[in-house]
Amino acid sequence: MHKSILLTGFAPFGGERSNPSWEVAQRFDRTQIGDVTVTAMRLPVNCARASRMVAQAIAKIRPVAFIGLGQAGGRPALSLEKVALNLADNRAGREHDGTRTRPIVPGGPDAYFSRLPITAILSRLARAGIPAALSLSAGVYVCNAVMYTALHAMRKQPRISAGFIHLPYTAAQATRHRAVASMTVDMMAEGVRLALEVTMRPSRARKRTR
């Protein structure tokens, strides 16, 4: 069967006209990373609907890797998310401060760790001159829900790489926000391309480090 990587991005939210996660993800749709084809999917900014779409896509496509992309406006670098919590706060447009959360999967594990080769990706991005950092919280909104749902759906296939990367504002978005960090879509896309490449390196099957 044809092998694919599932790469997701989101619709614009919070009054923005675009979302860099989808701008980047769509560039890779149907492209090849070695012998694997990228399938890009655009998700709605709603915890329940986005989670359902991701779970269904994983069941249907049976991807060999999953990378979710989302926007975290204000962050200065690509954020390699380490953990997904079993907590969701779906109050659109509000402060997701963690005071009104529900489990994403009732009775599910409290958290899952990313199964991307985060350290290897960070050193590859540093060598390429692309700002990137480890993040210990993907928040409690839709991005965290998608990351948790994907890792939960793939819990029986622990060798399949899966995780989430948050992206800064694009340089265009930053023209409407004062003094915030931003990055060009080209640089973010190059960062994601390198992350995909490192994730799919054949040696990953033998050496697995956290």
Catalytically active residues are 81, 143, 166
When asked if residue 173 is in the footprint of ligand PCA (CB under 6 A), the reply is: no
- Judge contact between 41 and 7, C-beta under 8 A: yes
Q: Which residues pair with 133 in a beta bridge?
A: 79
Maximum alpha-carbon separation in the chain: 49
Closest CA to 21 of 181, 144, 165: 165
Judged by CB under 6 A, the stretch of 55-63, 70-78, 106-114, 148-156 that binds ligand PCA is 70-78
Binding residue count for ligand PCA, defined by CB under 6 A: 12
**Distance separating alpha carbons of residues 196 and 125, to the nearest angstrom:** 11
Residues in the chain: 210
45 lines the binding site for ligand PCA (CB under 6 A): yes
Among 4, 21, 51, 114, binds ligand PCA (CB under 6 A): 21
Binding string to ligand PCA for residues 119 to 158, with x set by CB under 6 A, is what?
--------------------x-xxx---------------
Q: Is 9 exposed, middle or buried (0-12, 13-18, 19+ CB in 10 A)?
A: buried
Is residue 13 at the binding interface for ligand PCA, with CB under 6 A as the rule? yes
Nearest approach, Cβ of residue 3 and ligand PCA (Å): 27
Question: Cβ(77)–Cβ(54) under 8 Å?
Answer: no
Q: What is the CA radius of gyration of the chain?
A: 16
Closest CA to 163 of 83, 61, 64: 83
CB of 207 to ligand PCA, least distance (A): 31
Beta carbon of residue 124, minimum distance to ligand PCA (angstroms, whole number): 23
- Determine, following the binding rule CB under 6 A, whether residue 83 of this chain makes contact with ligand PCA: no
Under rule CB under 6 A, residue 7 binds ligand PCA = no
Measured from the CB atom, the residue of 36 and 164 that comes closer to ligand PCA is 164
Give the C-alpha separation, 156 to 201, whole Å. 22
- What is the smallest separation between the CB atom of 205 and ligand PCA, expressed in angstroms? 31
The contact set with ligand PCA (CB under 6 A) reads 10, 13, 19, 21, 45, 70-72, 139, 141-143
